[in-house]
Structure 1
């Protein structure tokens, strides 16, 4: 995993590999141009959807993904959840509009490591990217007050991540841990860990109770 690099990165240092995901070609082009101006960053791919981002991450294993929060099909938050679950060493930096601040908490639970506003300048974006790759979370200062309010808000039972909701839905549909692992291409042990987290967050004693709570809270159908 690459560490955060300063502006004076040397040519010998390994560059930060980055994937950009946005459904607008002009935005992807702008991101590529801004990031490409830095010697310590290389863009290794572009995706126009959440599904495309998940697929490219599996193939290219970038250090970080700059992810649009809203895209057709699988959105950025759901894609961040898949990436965090399947490739925990890959950092996801959410690229969001200020009006989408309600997505902050969901994105955090999904595994996103940073949040940067779309109207930020290039230096702020690059600084955020280096920070999350270096292992430190980043929240745009303009989002911080709302973010801190959400952190202080009581969260009864916890909020399930996108991957946890997916697994809970499969449990509700009658699938065993092994069937879930085969369908999601995860190890059985990883599925068991997700189920353990689901039970803890929903304060459920067993899977059947977790499914009932999930349905009652409209987390699953």
Structure 2
């Protein structure tokens, strides 16, 4: 394990990052780690990562010169993404990822795939419009009435809910079947999910509430 933290960490990727987004993430998760070229975005926005993990195909020479050699962790494996490499080598109560959504849809989809494959990690991906995380087995979200809540299955999964306008109990979700987009909160929302396959999508303004909910959730998916 490259980083073993007892507090939440901010993980910076190579997609769009602005200082306000990074500042919000760091308020929840003060320690900073970067995935490959995310180190450039970190440095430009005034954050010095304590570790940079990746195959280094996008890390600039400029960023390398700013960082201590001991903070650079080169993993040349081409069968995994830089996000995969970070999730495999960073243990923390919560990982808040910025710079993992934006211009490249294929990269964004790959990041969601990683969330499912590393279901034992609590990780929230913050974008410019929305945030995404994998639902743990049990979750309580303190949301305002009318807040948009979308549930998107990455595999066959079921669940029950309390506090959603359209309850999910008795429904069979699948990526090629029923999905749960465009739901709304009636207030606080309780979810119980049968498998580590359900993505929760909320407005990015709910980041702090989502982080609190994930940190408060006692149940976690096992490391398979």
User: TM (normalized to structure 1)?
Assistant: 0.38
Instruction: Select the structure of larger CA radius of gyration.
Output: 1
Query: Greater RCO between the two (CA within 8 Å, min separation 6)?
Result: 2
Q: Larger % of helix: which?
A: 1
User: TM (normalized to structure 2)?
Assistant: 0.37
Q: Larger % of strand: which?
A: 2
